[in-house]
Structure 1
Amino acid sequence: MSSNLRINYTIDPDPAALALRAAHHMLELAEEAVEARGRCRIAISGGSTPKATFRILADPAQPFVSRMPWSQIELFFVDERTVPPDHPDSNYRMTKEALLDHVPIRPEQVHRMQGELEPEVAAAEYEFDLRRTFRLEGAESPRFDILTLGMGPDGHCASLFPHTEALHEIGRLVAANHVPQMNTWRITLTWPVINHAREVFFLIAGADKADRAKQVFTGPKDVETLPSQLIWPASGILTLLMDKAAAAELPPTGADGKGHLERAR
């Protein structure tokens, strides 16, 4: 993992513009991955901004349906709620309804976390799936080409919530994480796996994220309280795609709407 982190961020005027930028960003990265390696493995998060992005990717009036290399994509999940796949809270259901039902991607290209199983079983099954798909041995981690994250108002990302056990998990690829503050369990990729991805980017929208974004990306290190600070990609580069409200307390960008921060470990 790089000792220094460059955080590149772009700011769009509203969530709709942010979702469109995210769709273009995913297309560009997917095309690059396919050109370089013949396929693109993407790990996605749930949330309202990804949902809007998925709808744009699936919109026949947009260029993405025809340009995205769907046949060469494998889709994975960053985290999942402990619910069946048809439950309204399921990240899989959201993704299926917003994206998968409308694009030429086959069921075998989609790797679902089985939230209907006991949490520890679901985590173990997904780790087995990752090891088999990526042909991993020993302590190896999967290398996703693209990994998307959101950030909650409490500073969590994936299902790595403040003061939960999964923040300390470094030996497993997938963890069953009990979240006492929500009285629930979640299934989540662990932070070393997230950091091993080639391209990691956050989608952050809304005024309720502004203060937390400032704390996470410019404040002192406190990963127990601000788990998003655990995201420090091995590449040394982290990308933030934000709307104006979420970025209100970050340093202003240039005329091109882009800015950057430098963090030392």
Structure 2
Amino acid sequence: MRRGLLIYDGRDELAMGAAAFFIDSCRNAISEKGLFTVVLSGGNTPIGLYKLLASGDFGGTVDWRAVHLFWGDERSVPPESAESNFNTVRRSLISKIDIPPGNIHRIKGELPPEEAASAYEKSIRDFFGLSSGELPRFDLVLLGMGADGHTLSIFPGTEAACNQEKLAAANYVDKLKAWRITLTLRAITDAVMTLFLVSGREKAEALKEVLVDGEGKYPASAVTGRKLLWLVDKEAALLMGE
């Protein structure tokens, strides 16, 4: 696995860097096989990226007809909810680009959690034509990391952190008193490229634990892939020199 770290001055610069990786990955995939599959991240950090991709400067260079959008995780809420990760992307990106509805593969958070996870896993298996035991090969996976070291909706100590069989799982997060539907770490193992987007001083301790101390106690530490890059701002990287 190839892993690297890029540090940006601020969140805007991080978004610009992520957009460049997105565009390059997209062009390469479409040139090679005619389509591009990307797993989108929730949270606040990637919103700047989505807005850039919706703009003429960046989005105008993307053939959205060949792009297929997937989600890394979702809250157990309907798609119109302000808490929905899908709705965040819809407002900041999807509503502003010309992408076929059939290219949008959202997690149906309005369903009961276990049913939503099963339906999402089936949609991924059907899209990639996977046999039992095979893994999807997403072209690009975008991930975030919380101050507690969680990624996707895989929180420390939760059942999904240990799931090595499914591609998608319903995960009850006791600290939030809420259900989440999430891709498992197994589902993203075979991705062509994985980008962590991390910003904010509150992430500094967890980032140091993951990248410097390497104790592996956080779910973010367990992410593997063909090529893994961390794109972080200076605030998040505050403790990296210690």
Aligned position for 2:184:
190
Aligned position for 1:78:
72
| Pairs aligned (count) | 242
RMSD: 1.2
| Other structure's SS at 2:171 match | strand
| Other structure's SS at 1:84 match | coil
The Cα shift of 1:19 comes to 0.9
Aligned position for 1:177:
171
Aligned position for 1:38:
34
| Other structure's SS at 1:49 match | coil
| Other structure's SS at 1:182 match | coil
Partner deviation per Cα, 1:21-63 (whole Å, 9 max, x = no partner): 1111101111111112211000111111211110111123xx2
C-alpha separation between the residues in 2 aligned to 1:98 and 1:220?
35
Aligned position for 1:209:
203
One-letter identity of the residue aligned with 2:32: A
One-letter identity of the residue aligned with 1:184: A
Aligned position for 2:96:
102
1:148 aligned to 2:138? no
| Other structure's SS at 1:48 match | coil
C-alpha separation between the residues in 1 aligned to 2:161 and 2:148?
14
Whether the 8 Å contact between 2:167 and 2:187 is mirrored in structure 1 is yes
Per the normalisation by structure 2, the TM-score is: 0.97
1:1-265 matches, cutoff 5 A: 5-60=1-56, 63-223=57-217, 226-233=218-225, 235=226, 237-251=227-241
C-alpha separation between the residues in 2 aligned to 1:179 and 1:220?
24
Structure 1 residue runs without a partner (length 5+): 253-265
| Other structure's SS at 1:16 match | helix
Whether the 8 Å contact between 2:68 and 2:105 is mirrored in structure 1 is yes
Whether the 8 Å contact between 2:136 and 2:188 is mirrored in structure 1 is no
The Cα shift of 1:251 comes to 4.2
C-alpha separation between the residues in 2 aligned to 1:32 and 1:75?
16
